[in-house]
């Protein structure tokens, strides 16, 4: 199968390439990085031309602007990339009946529930990032019926700078740590998500999926476990409310995701603690 992957230079995109390149013909597209095709997804003509040139059998779309605070400061840009950009790819693929998978987020939900959100719960985003990703979901669903929407949460990956790297970096530098206790969802290892997506695209069971490592925790609990595993068990972490962490975007409070659809067809991700231990083992080898 010939697969076009957007955001191929990113953490999830590059892991999807690594997971799939042995079994499929992969075309890599991104607006940055050393990839075979430069693509600005906010340019519809560019999307249409690239899809026509490559003629893929499948399009994987993890590309996004994931700077949540940046999206809050520039919601128009967020909508242009995450929402309209996804719509551009949806239209380009729909013309030729090409299936498309879009990676969305737990932040399409408002966080007002006290239970895990299922794939059938109605989104109600409360910040610009969540709204832009929800817009992308709707743009894809309305234009291309052969679609998968995969919602993930709190991705941690090798390289770059995400929550785990920030916490460990602060601990190594001896900086005081303040971490939120009332933001809760599922920490998810990028490698595990990529493997689950690779399995999902073989099924042709189109629809919405929540693919996250099992188990939901607070930011504080996630940080505490990570520090303990990394040898910083004596490092204290001050507990704070999300309202005490001054930032442009206010994330939803409780957005644990329940994997019902994926589990029903045999796609499950291991518990997040096991995934984080595997991450640390891989980091040691790197």
Active site residues: 129
Q: Give the separation between CA 186 and CA 256, rounded to whole angstroms.
A: 6
Could you tell me which of 69, 66, 31, 67 has the C-alpha nearest to residue 50?
31
The distance from CA 92 to its chain's CA centroid, rounded to whole angstroms, is 22
Q: Answer whether 253's CB lies under 8 Å from 219's CB.
A: no
User: Which H or E run includes 37?
Assistant: strand 37-38
| SS3 category, 110 | coil
Q: Give the separation between CA 240 and CA 223, rounded to whole angstroms.
A: 13
Could you tell me which of 266, 29, 6 has the C-alpha nearest to residue 136?
6
Residue 27 has, within 13 A of its CA and on its CB side, a CA count of: 18
């Amino acid at each position: 199968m010939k697969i076009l992957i957007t955001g191929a230079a990113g953490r999830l995109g590059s892991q999807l390439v690594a997971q799939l390149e042995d079994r499929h013909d992969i075309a890599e597209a991104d607006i940055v990085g050393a990839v075979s095709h430069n693509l600005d997804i906010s340019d519809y003509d560019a999307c249409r031309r690239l899809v026509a040139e490559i003629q893929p059998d499948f399009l994987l779309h993890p590309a996004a602007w994931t700077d949540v605070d940046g999206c809050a400061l520039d919601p128009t840009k967020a909508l242009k990339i995450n929402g309209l950009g996804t719509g551009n790819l949806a239209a380009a693929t729909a013309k030729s009946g090409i299936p498309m998978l879009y990676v969305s987020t737990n932040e399409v939900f408002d966080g007002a529930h006290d239970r895990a959100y299922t794939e059938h719960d109605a989104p109600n985003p409360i910040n610009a990032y969540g709204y832009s990703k929800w817009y992308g979901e709707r743009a894809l669903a309305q234009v291309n019926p052969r679609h998968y929407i995969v919602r993930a949460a709190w991705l941690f990956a090798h390289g770059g700078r995400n929550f785990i790297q920030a916490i460990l970096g602060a601990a190594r530098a001896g900086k005081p740590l303040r971490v939120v206790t009332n933001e809760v969802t599922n920490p998810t290892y990028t490698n595990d998500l990529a493997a689950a997506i690779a399995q999902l695209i073989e099924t042709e069971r189109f629809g919405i999926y929540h693919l996250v490592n099992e188990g939901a925790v607070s930011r504080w609990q996630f940080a505490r476990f990570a520090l303990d595993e990394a040898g910083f068990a004596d490092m204290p972490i001050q507990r704070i409310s999300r309202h005490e962490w001054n930032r442009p975007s206010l994330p939803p409070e409780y957005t644990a995701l329940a994997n019902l659809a994926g589990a029903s067809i045999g796609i499950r991700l291991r518990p997040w603690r096991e995934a984080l231990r595997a991450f640390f083992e891989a980091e040691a080898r790197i």
